[in-house]
């Protein structure tokens, strides 16, 4: 058993047309596309504004994210349905 953590997968992000943040950051956000939409390992649903936050790396428990759409700081936790965002402050 190795003591080194596994390397995180990397993802290429494309612009999904999310226009509520500056153009420079649009590739890091997208709207939820309905009830059948599933999140990738690099995506997290913001519990405050229901926007999907995307990362260039795989998300793991303990990571912190910032939702620029609603100005909320999130911490990634393990939940019943995989990873979830816990609001640290808004």
Q: Please say whether the dihedral angle defined by the alpha carbons of residues 77, 78, 80 and 82, taken in this order, is positive or negative.
A: positive
**Predicted pLDDT of residue 68:** 95
pLDDT in tens, 64-79: 999 999 999 999 999 8
CA-angle at 80, arms to 43 and 33, nearest 5°: 40
For residue 23, report the phi and psi dihedrals to the nearest 5 degrees: -55, -35
pLDDT in tens, 8-64: 899 999 998 899 999 999 999 999 998 899 999 999 999 999 999 999 999 999 999
Domain boundaries, the chain: 23-89
Q: Specify the long-range contacts of residues 60-64, CB closer than 8 Å, at least 24 apart.
A: 60/8, 64/88
What distance lies between CA 52 and its chain's CA centroid?
Answer: 6
Fold for the domain defined by 23-89: Rubrerythrin, domain 2 (2.20.28)
């Amino acid at each position: 058993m190795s003591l080194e953590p596994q390397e995180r997968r990397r993802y290429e992000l494309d612009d999904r047309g999310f226009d509520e943040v500056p153009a420079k950051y649009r590739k890091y956000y997208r709207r939820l596309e309905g009830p059948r939409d599933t999140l990738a390992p690099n995506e997290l649903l913001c519990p405050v504004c229901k926007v999907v936050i995307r990362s260039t790396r795989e998300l793991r428990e303990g990571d912190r994210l910032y939702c620029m759409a609603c100005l909320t700081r999130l911490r990634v936790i393990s939940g019943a349905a995989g990873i979830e965002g816990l609001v640290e402050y808004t």
